Amino acid sequence: MRIAMISEHASPLAALGGEDAGGQNTHVAELAAALAADGHDVRVYTRRDAADVPEQVRLTNGVTVVHVSAGPAEPIPKDALLPYMRDFGLWLAGQWRRDDWVPAVAHAHFWMSGLAALVAARQTEVPVVLTYHALGTVKRRHQGTADTSPPRRIGYERALGRAVDRVVAQSQDEVRELIEMGVPRSRLVVVPSGVNDAAFTPEGPAAPREPDRPRILSVGRLVPRKGFQDVISALRLVPEAECVVVGGPPARRLADDPQARALQALAERCHVADRVRLVGAVPREEMPLWYRSADVLAAAPWYEPFGLTPLEAMACGVPVVATGVGGLNDTVIDGLTGDLVPPRDPRALGIALRRLLGDRVRRFAYGTAALDRARQCFTWQRAAAQLGGVYAAVSQVRHPTEVVA
């Protein structure tokens, strides 16, 4: 099947860790690769953010990345991309009408890609599947006035849920939110994200560490909602351990980064600065080394649509202490593969971390169960197979002749 994946701001080719580059980039890259490995013909459409990139890049895994001209060919924060989505959609429609490559389905990632996909779909009849990745309602609830999303985001998201052919939710929590938003249940399917279980494994090299100092790892974009400040505060209750934070800008730019500076300042105030290390952005292929070096992953977001990093740790056999929010309630089984604690509660986090780091047997049991769970329930092959079924169903409805042919 010809599958168009639309990911307006999150390119599979981008470096990760920065403010707008994280889970969606990984998700799109891995899902596209898994679909291509299943024999599908996959193109990922992403916005051109530099003048000197070729229009098409063919990856070794068979996926083609297409750079779409919509807005200035320069980096633009994702929250400022809305004005260019109509052009993005018209560009797609133009290509699909001109080319001999017409997709059987367009899978849009993030609401803005959904808008572009609908513009294209109106002219080409290509069915649209949408994964929101994050919801404006949830963001507004947690971030209030700090939310920089376009003001009409929530309204657009609601309308999209009724206009597209299928909505893919990533967790049970998202299903609940979507139903509250008015998305018809009949249009919803749940397909969780996955983990690359060939790359994220317990076996293999690990990043260097001090042998006698327990290591708490925390990974993600350095944005307040990821809760790194709570992990650093919790460190006061875990006196022996060090905390390594991976993510944010590249190491050479950490000193100028306001979020990194705020975390360092907090570590000073908590008298734990000598045990906190900010590593900066790490290339995706080096991530397994960091997980393998850890005794536990601490994931303390205030909210989390899905949350890939706990799953990546689990696939490396590393137990997780996480806040019981969003998708983390589906991936981490409390008391079996890790511990769930309330969000924004450094004390509860610290107590859970101290207990786990002091109990080698429990860590081993959690790590073993976590590895099993990641491999059995959350692979990209599994997600690709499920989505293949969804794509076939929606393209049959719209394009009976094409499917028969």
Closest distance of CB 56 from ligand UDP, Å: 24
Span interacting with ligand UDP, options 21-29, 158-166, 234-242, 337-345, rule CB under 6 A: 21-29
Candidates 12, 22, 194, 343; binder of ligand UDP (CB under 6 A) is: 22
281 binding ligand UDP? (CB under 6 A):
yes
- Please say which residue, 214 or 307, places its beta carbon nearer to ligand UDP: 307
Which residue of the chain is nearest ligand UDP when measured via CB?
22
Hey, what amino acid is at 213? R
- Please say which residue, 163 or 223, places its beta carbon nearer to ligand UDP: 223
- 265 Cβ contact list (under 8 Å, min separation 6): none
| Residue 352 tokens, joined | 């859970």
- Please say which residue, 131 or 233, places its beta carbon nearer to ligand UDP: 131
Span interacting with ligand UDP, options 97-105, 252-260, 303-311, 380-388, rule CB under 6 A: 303-311
- Please say which residue, 95 or 329, places its beta carbon nearer to ligand UDP: 329
Say how far apart CA 318 and CA 310 lie, in whole Å: 9
Closest distance of CB 292 from ligand UDP, Å: 13
Q: What is the DSSP string of 378-391?
A: -BHHHHHHHHHHHH
Q: For residue 73, what are the CA distances in angstroms to 6, 52, 211, 257? A: 17, 9, 48, 25
Closest distance of CB 119 from ligand UDP, Å: 25
- Please say which residue, 167 or 282, places its beta carbon nearer to ligand UDP: 282
Do the Cβ atoms of 302 and 323 come closer than 8 Å?
yes
Look up tokens 């707008």; give the residue. Answer: 20
Where in 371-390 is the site for ligand UDP (CB under 6 A)?
Answer: none
Task: Report the alpha-carbon angle 388-179-119, nearest 5.
Answer: 60
309 binding ligand UDP? (CB under 6 A):
yes
| Residue 195 tokens, joined | 């983990």
Q: What track of x and - describes contact with ligand UDP for positions 212 through 241 (by CB under 6 A)?
A: -------xxx--------------------
Candidates 164, 232, 244, 282; binder of ligand UDP (CB under 6 A) is: 282
| Residue 389 tokens, joined | 């079924």
Closest distance of CB 94 from ligand UDP, Å: 31
308 binding ligand UDP? (CB under 6 A):
yes
16 binding ligand UDP? (CB under 6 A):
yes
Backbone phi, psi, residue 97, to 5°: -80, -40
Do the Cβ atoms of 89 and 116 come closer than 8 Å?
yes
Span interacting with ligand UDP, options 68-76, 107-115, 205-213, 277-285, rule CB under 6 A: 277-285
Give 270's DSSP letter.
Answer: T
Q: How many residues at the interface with ligand UDP, by CB under 6 A?
A: 20
Closest CA to 189 of 153, 155, 161: 161
- Please say which residue, 246 or 263, places its beta carbon nearer to ligand UDP: 246
284 binding ligand UDP? (CB under 6 A):
yes
Phi-psi region of 220 (alpha: psi -120 to 50; beta: other; left: phi over 0): left
Show the beta-strand stretches assigned E in 289-388. 296-299, 320-323, 338-341
Where in 311-350 is the site for ligand UDP (CB under 6 A)?
Answer: 312
Candidates 307, 343, 367, 388; binder of ligand UDP (CB under 6 A) is: 307
Candidates 7, 11, 26, 233; binder of ligand UDP (CB under 6 A) is: 26
Closest distance of CB 26 from ligand UDP, Å: 4
Backbone phi, psi, residue 291, to 5°: -60, -45
- 61 Cβ contact list (under 8 Å, min separation 6): 32, 33, 36, 37
Say how far apart CA 193 and CA 328 lie, in whole Å: 12
Give 334's DSSP letter.
Answer: B
Do the Cβ atoms of 275 and 44 come closer than 8 Å?
no
- Please say which residue, 84 or 306, places its beta carbon nearer to ligand UDP: 306
Candidates 12, 247, 317, 319; binder of ligand UDP (CB under 6 A) is: 247
- Please say which residue, 119 or 282, places its beta carbon nearer to ligand UDP: 282
Residues engaged in binding ligand UDP (CB under 6 A): 16-17, 22-24, 26, 219-221, 246-247, 281-282, 284, 287, 306-309, 312
